Amino acid sequence: MDTIYLVKQARKGKDEAFEQLIDSVRNKLYRTAFSYVRNEQDALDLYQDAIYEAYLSLKKLKKPEQFQSWITKIIIFKSIDFIRKSSKHFLADDELFEQLMSGEGFDNLEQSLDLTKAFESLDVTYKTMILLRFYHDLSIKEIAEFMDYPEGTVKSNLHRAKKILRPILKEGYLHG
């Protein structure tokens, strides 16, 4: 898929091009929203809001090749906003723990729930960074730009988050 071409076509009003762009990120967007709000309907609402906002503001995207990062940023900020407004607890599962998302690698449901609970206790910043790094496969530099933090801060925060979760991982909740 040629993201740059599709963004340019979508900017010209070609809805099919925008649909192709969304198709390429659809699952990750929904799963990202769901990992924050842990409710199917809320995640769908956030997903739809993010797509609508992206559609309306596509002309503001300065670098078409960064479409995926840009729309991911929209859904994360919408999710965090939703959580703040609704005072819900923040939960985020991600592909640092790919097995948690897929259900693989756990001996039983209890272990999966233990890891989810530990992840729930992380600071919002740590969760967001882990989600961006290990689920959305962004580099440290991309996360730093995305969150407007120095690269060193991103590295430190990722290290701290993993350190918090490491005791659970060492107990064999994840294999590999």
Predicted confidence (pLDDT) per residue in 10-41, tens digit:
999 999 999 999 999 999 999 999 888 888 99
Q: What pLDDT is stored for residue 113 in this prediction?
A: 59
Band (pLDDT 50/70/90 cuts) for residue 96 is: very low
Assigned fold of 92-176: Arc Repressor Mutant, subunit A (1.10.10)
Assigned fold of 1-88: Rna Polymerase Sigma Factor; Chain: A (1.10.1740)
Band (pLDDT 50/70/90 cuts) for residue 134 is: confident
Determine the length of the chain.
176
Q: Which residue has the higher pLDDT, 1 or 150?
A: 150
Q: What pLDDT is stored for residue 116 in this prediction?
A: 66
**Cα–Cα distance for residue pair 157/104, rounded to 1 Å:** 27
Question: Alpha-carbon Rg of the chain, whole angstroms?
Answer: 17
The residues of the chain that CATH labels 1.10.1740.10 are: 1-88
